[in-house]
Amino acid sequence: MSITSCNISRSLAVIIGIKQYGKGIEPLQTAVNDAQAMARILQDNHRYDKVWLLSDEKATLKSLYHLLEKTLVEAVQPDDRLLFYFAGHGIALNG
């Protein structure tokens, strides 16, 4: 098997940071700061063409669905690279 290089047209990223959850879930100390730092690093150091940053009240289920089902579908092209970064709680559901 040979490894071939691919031509990447653009670098895009979705960065999500959630520290406030409510409903008795403890807030996180660094999730939003981590997400903001990641967005800055990708833009400033790695010259990402577009970074969508959603944090706390902007990271609603409705806004995430819109981003995934509309914005990214329209924006991402076949030769683009897309990085997805999430900083927040993870909850395992049975079933």
Q: What is the pLDDT of residues 1-53, one digit of tens each?
A: 445 567 899 999 999 999 988 788 888 899 999 999 999 999 999 999 999 99
Which tops the pLDDT comparison, 90 or 64? Answer: 64
The continuous run of DSSP H or E covering 5 comes out as none
CA distance 26 to 21: 7
Please give the pLDDT value at position 95. Answer: 66
Which tops the pLDDT comparison, 95 or 94? Answer: 94
Question: In the predicted model, is pLDDT for residue 70 greater than 80?
Answer: yes
Pull the structure tokens for residue 85: 């970064």
Contact (Cβ atoms closer than 8 angstroms) between residue 10 and residue 77: yes
Which tops the pLDDT comparison, 56 or 66? Answer: 66
How many residues would you count in the chain?
Answer: 95
